[in-house]
Structures are given as C-alpha cells and as structure tokens.
Amino acid sequence: MGNEAQAEIDSLRERLAAAEAVAAEVARIKAINADLEARNALLELQNEKMRRTLFGQRSERTRHLLDQMELTFEEYETAASGDELLAALAAAKTNVAPFERKRPARKPLPEHLPRERVVIAAPAACPCCGSDRLCKLGEDITETLEVVPRQWKVVQTVREKFSCRDCEKITQPPAPFHVTPRGLFGPSFLAMLLFEKFGAHQPLNRQRDRYAREGVDLSLSTLADQVGACTAALMPLYLLIEAHVLAAERLHGDDTTVPVLAKTKTDTGRIWTYVRDDRPFGGPAPPAAIFHYSRDRRGEHPVGHLRSWRGILQADAYAGYNALFHGGRLPAPLTRALCWSHARRYFFELADVAAQLKKRRKKAAVISPLAVEAVRRIDAIFDIERAINGRSAQERLALRQELSAPLVAELEEWMRDSRSKLSKNSDVAEAMDYMLKAWPAFAAFLNDGRICLSNNAAERALRGIALGRKSWLFAGSDRGGQRTAFMLSLIGTAKLNDIDPQAWLADVLARIADIPQNRLHELLPWNWRAPEDQRKAA
C-alpha cells in the first residue's frame, strides 16, 4: 500500500511539473508576442516621424497623430515588459528557457548630473578564514538615476573589493537590489513616474518632454518599460488590498466612462470601483478601494467582480447589478441599498434656477414647486445623517428609527399622493418614479445601521478619472485600461488613508523585494509610516 501511495505521489509530481512547464512555455510565447507588438509599434512610430520630417506639414493634426501613435507604443512596450517578467517568474520553476527582450543600447546617464557616492561598508574580516588582513583591489560602481523634487542626481553605489593576504580569497559586498531589471532608476523616480501617469494623469510622452527640458533625456520606450516592470512588482500589494476590500460587509459600487483607442475611433470602456469605507458607522477596518476595467458596461462585469462576495452593495439603480440581488444567486443574494444623492439630484435639477436657465437658454426658467418640496424633505433626512455620522451601527439604527423613519414615511406618502396627480410625461413624475419603483432599496438604511444614505464614497473615488480624461484623452488598449485600474487601486487606497501616494510608492518599491511574504502587510497604506516617522519611532 505504501509503494502504491508513493507511486501516486510521484505521478502527481510529474504531472504538476509538466503543467508548470506548459504554463511557462505559454508565458514565454505571450512575452514574445508582446515584444513583437511593441517593436512593430515602434517601427510604425519611427516611420511616421521620418515621413513627417521629409514630406509632412507641421500641422496640429499630424502632431495629434504622433501623440496617438506614441501612446499606442507606450501601451505595447509596457505590456511587453510586464509579460517578460511574468514569463521569467514562470520559467524559474521549470527548465524552460526564459525569454529576454532585445533592447537598444542604453544611453549613459547625463554627465552633468551630480554624483552621490554611497559606499557599502567593507567587511572587517575575511568571511572565508576570519583574517583581518584585507587589502583593497578595486571597486565596482552601479549608477542609478534618482530624483529629489526638482533636483536630479545620479546615485553611485560603490562595492569595494578586498582580497585576503592569508588565503587570497576575494571579498565584495553583494550587489544592491534594484526595483526593476537592469536597475537604471531609483524608487523615488519610479514612484514619481507612476504617480504622474496614473495619479496626476500625465502620459509618459509628456513626462519625457518635461524631463528633457530639465536636462534629462529619456526615451519613451525606457519609461514605458519601467511602468510595466513596476506594475508586476506591485501585484502582491494589489492582491492584499483586493482581499481586504472583498472581506467587507458593505461596499460602495459605481462606474464611469473611459475612452479606449480602437482602429478607426475610440470605444467607450468602463472603469468600475468598489470602495470599502466603514468609518461612517465607526468600523475599525481601514478604507480601501479596488478598480476594474471593461470594454463595455454589460452586467456580467459586476457579477464577475463580486462573484464570491456577499453583503450590502450600495450603488445606483443600474440594471446590470440586478443579477447580484437575485434570490438564486450563490453564495447568497446581495442586499440592495440605493443612493439618495442620486435621487435628490433629479429633483434638484428641476428646482435649480441657474441650471434651468442654462438648460432653456433664452426661455424663462420653470421651477417646479413639487421638486422644491422634495429637495426640502430629502435634505431634512440628510441633516439627521450628518449628525449621526461616525457613531456605531447600533446607535445609528436606533436614531434612524426614532428620527428618520417618520420623515421617510411622510416622504413616501406625500410622493405617492403627488405622483397620482401628475402625467406620466412630467419631469417631476420621472424623478418620483425613480424612487418609488425601488422604494425598499431606498428605505433599506432604516433597517441597518451600516448602510449609508448616499453612494458618495464611490463617486469620490471616480472623480479623478473624470478630471483626468481631458488630459490623457484615452486608454491605448484594453491592457492599458486594466493597468490603469490596477494603479488606481493602489493610489486611491493610499488617498483614502490620508497617505501621500508618491511617498508611499517610493518606500514600497524600495522595500518590497526584500521584505518576507509574511510581512507584506506592513507595506499596506493603513499600516505604512513615512520614513521620517519610522526614524522618530526608532
């Protein structure tokens, strides 16, 4: 029986090794294809630039065309770099040869930048025999480009070599860890690059031009390569944040449009967000947000995002969420809670004089008395919510039953009575129907102190995307949209915890490769402390 069990174990190990080899080969082929796509995009960009130089007119239209081609190349180069690292990780577990991309000769770092020598201390004794008779043979210097805000410098890390006069063994400290392969850039520079692109919405080609004006000439392919490598390095933190968000009992959900580059036009993709914020009901869990990208707004996307999650979902009345509330859903149907801010907005637009004048232009503004009354009644409920914000769920529930429940019942009775007197084509009737058709979901906050009255947490998380769309114009591809969602999850979570995203990313990139897996949680935004605070604590 023991021999049979051992044979079964050996068979399973062989099958596992074969599966890992197949996965490594698939990753290698994917990396090769991504590299070919990046090289093809570079050739197209170079060809267009030469054509423009020789024959083209220096018009604004051709400049926009080049910007689009540079953004496309940026996306392919970043994806190729990320796929190369994933292929290397997969190949490390097998005997499959890793794929290594061919890159152009690297430019030397600018000579005019000041050099800062960081000398790694030499050993006091020979690690081989213990003798202290060491003599210096030379040194190896590794240069990395680093940036202090508005001050560029090149950090030279010196590793001195010593030989032992007794045993003639050569000793040298190990090479320092670099955030990305080939180690040309320091963590502070990479953090600035990532935050400028995904947090400040500055595409890499604009960053490249700004750096060139400051005397540091870097190619677009080099910057895109670093972005792809950084996103691969930061993946473990994203997975921890995602697990934290999906462990919540209540989530805010929302989405917004994001233009995506297509062959002859731009498609309208979507960025989805799910925010965990327990602070309104005094929950101890830190806030966090995850983002997802999709090419369209089909309901299958939120269903997939929350496939194994159960709890309360606060969102708007978008029909794509309906499958999550179906009674037959596994593991359990979600509890639906609708946003009163959305409902109030429809009434407020009909009661806002300025908005009406802008909408009707020269025509006289028509203000609905019913809309004004609805806004007044809803605002009274919001006043109560502001007063109880931050209290425990039990306290909030008791105060809502005492103070808010009568107002909500009066609002429903008044609204149903008023609605019966309006025509179906009335704008106020449409605003009332929005609430009355899903009244149990609007009134759900009266039965659970954890539910918020609005979905503003998710809307605030998406605000940066709406502000940045005019800056970065569009996502270059689906991979680019997914990468944007990935980085927004990290930056958005840092902001929710009142952490400077750029400072946090710089410290994380400097430490993430050396920190043990069981201590990765120390790098999460809500556990992280700035280096200055760490030194004070020490």
484-524 pLDDT tens trace: 899 999 999 999 999 999 999 999 999 998 888 899 999 99
The answer to the question of residue 135 being in a domain is: no
Return mean pLDDT, the chain: 86
Give the pLDDT mean for 113-137: 88
The answer to the question of residue 166 being in a domain is: no
Asked if residue 485 lies in contact with residue 293, where contact means CB atoms within 8 angstroms, the answer is: yes
459 and 396 within one domain? no
Angle between helices 187-194 and 220-233 (to 10 degrees): 100
461 and 321 within one domain? yes
pLDDT tier for residue 536 given thresholds of 50, 70 and 90: low
Q: Which of left, alpha, beta for 314 (phi over 0: left; psi -120 to 50: alpha)?
A: beta
Q: Which of left, alpha, beta for 361 (phi over 0: left; psi -120 to 50: alpha)?
A: left
460 and 409 within one domain? no
474 and 445 within one domain? no
Residue 338 DSSP SS3: strand
Instruction: Kindly state the tokens that stand for 187.
Output: 């963590």
Q: Which amino acid is at 324?
A: L
Give me the percent of the chain exceeding a pLDDT of 70: 88
In this prediction, residue 248 carries a pLDDT of 95
The answer to the question of residue 163 being in a domain is: no
Residue 193 has pLDDT above 80, yes or no: yes
The answer to the question of residue 429 being in a domain is: yes
- DSSP secondary structure letter of residue 380: H
In this prediction, residue 446 carries a pLDDT of 95
The answer to the question of residue 285 being in a domain is: yes
510 and 374 within one domain? no
Asked if residue 199 lies in contact with residue 489, where contact means CB atoms within 8 angstroms, the answer is: no
Quick count: other Cβ atoms within 10 Å of Cβ 65? 14
- DSSP secondary structure letter of residue 394: H
The answer to the question of residue 215 being in a domain is: no
502 and 435 within one domain? no
Q: Which amino acid is at 221?
A: S
> Are β-strands 335-338 and 312-315 bridged in parallel, bridged antiparallel, or unpaired?
parallel
Give the pLDDT mean for 158-178: 88
In this prediction, residue 359 carries a pLDDT of 60
461 and 445 within one domain? no
Residue 358 has pLDDT above 50, yes or no: yes
Give me the CATH number covering residue 284.
Answer: 3.30.420
346 and 446 within one domain? yes
326 and 470 within one domain? yes
Half-sphere exposure of 280 (CA within 13 A, CB side): 22
Angle between helices 478-496 and 220-233 (to 10 degrees): 60
Residue 274 DSSP SS3: strand
Give the pLDDT mean for 420-435: 90
In this prediction, residue 59 carries a pLDDT of 46
- DSSP secondary structure letter of residue 526: T
The domain boundary, picked from 450, 481, 509, lies at 450
The answer to the question of residue 437 being in a domain is: yes
Query: Which range marks the domain in which residue 301 is found?
Result: 234-338+455-538
411 and 276 within one domain? no
pLDDT of 15-72, one tens digit each? 888 888 888 888 888 888 888 888 787 777 777 777 766 555 544 445 566 667 777 7
The domain boundary, picked from 91, 123, 157, lies at 91
How many domains does one find in the chain?
3
The domain boundary, picked from 91, 107, 128, lies at 91
Secondary structure element (H or E) that encloses residue 168, with its range = none
Lowest mean pLDDT among 24-33, 185-194, 213-222, 286-295: 24-33
- What's the full length of the chain, in residues? 538
Determine if the pTM surpasses 0.75: yes
Residue 266 DSSP SS3: strand
446 and 346 within one domain? yes
494 and 437 within one domain? no
In this prediction, residue 63 carries a pLDDT of 57
